[in-house]
Amino acid sequence: MDMSVMAVFVVLSVVVFGLEIAIVRLVRAVKGRGHPVLAALRLNGIKPKPAEHLLCKRQVWESAETLMTAREQHFLRRLSQKVDERRWRLCPQVRVADIVRITPDIREHSATWWQLFRMASQWHCDVVIVERESFRIVAAVELDDASHLQPRRVRREILLEEVLRQAGIPLIRDRDPTTLISQVSGHLAIHEAGNESISVEKS
């Protein structure tokens, strides 16, 4: 084969190989940048983070199908039968950070604020009871189980009790559903009696 022809062949081979690499890289880039979520972030001047790229790369979330465990659902049904829902609302799986807030003397978004917020932001109460009309928080209810004996959960329970104590929110908890329902009924009766006495005094 003529040397000049061979040289042309080699050059063309290198060019083709380079084009193949460039095309592969371009396809990958288009796939990453082409996702509407990433495009929307960039359109709003937001640089996507690694977790956001992972979210857009493939399906990583699926439905949990049901809210609460079967035991918690059974407890809530029984509690609903005992509680006058014309007077109270039973709110399941409420995030603790949605029923308490950090006191205003701690500057919002300061290092101290974030330390406290992160401590409680992942916690949930099994049920939060509120007044039906005003949505005023009446109590938090926790149905304990075997997992509450684990060291990690014990720490959470001790801290949760202190957080709610400081916030002035009664925490009603027990491992036995029947006992817990009785405790909740008693607390609501006392709370309602207290409200009625206040109304009488005002009148």
20-51 pLDDT per residue, tens: 665 555 555 555 457 899 989 999 999 999 99
Eight-state DSSP code of residue 60? -
Q: Are 151 and 168 in contact (CB under 8 A)?
A: no
**Please, what is the angle between helix 50-57 and helix 36-43, to 10°?**
150
Q: What percent of the chain has pLDDT over 90?
A: 68
Question: What pLDDT is stored for residue 150 in this prediction?
Answer: 73
Q: What length does the chain have?
A: 203
pTM: 0.75
What is the pLDDT, as a whole number, of residue 200? 41
Q: Which residues of the chain have pLDDT under 70?
A: 1-33, 148, 196-203
Calpha distance 70→75 (Å, rounded): 9
> What is the DSSP-derived secondary structure letter of residue 142?
E
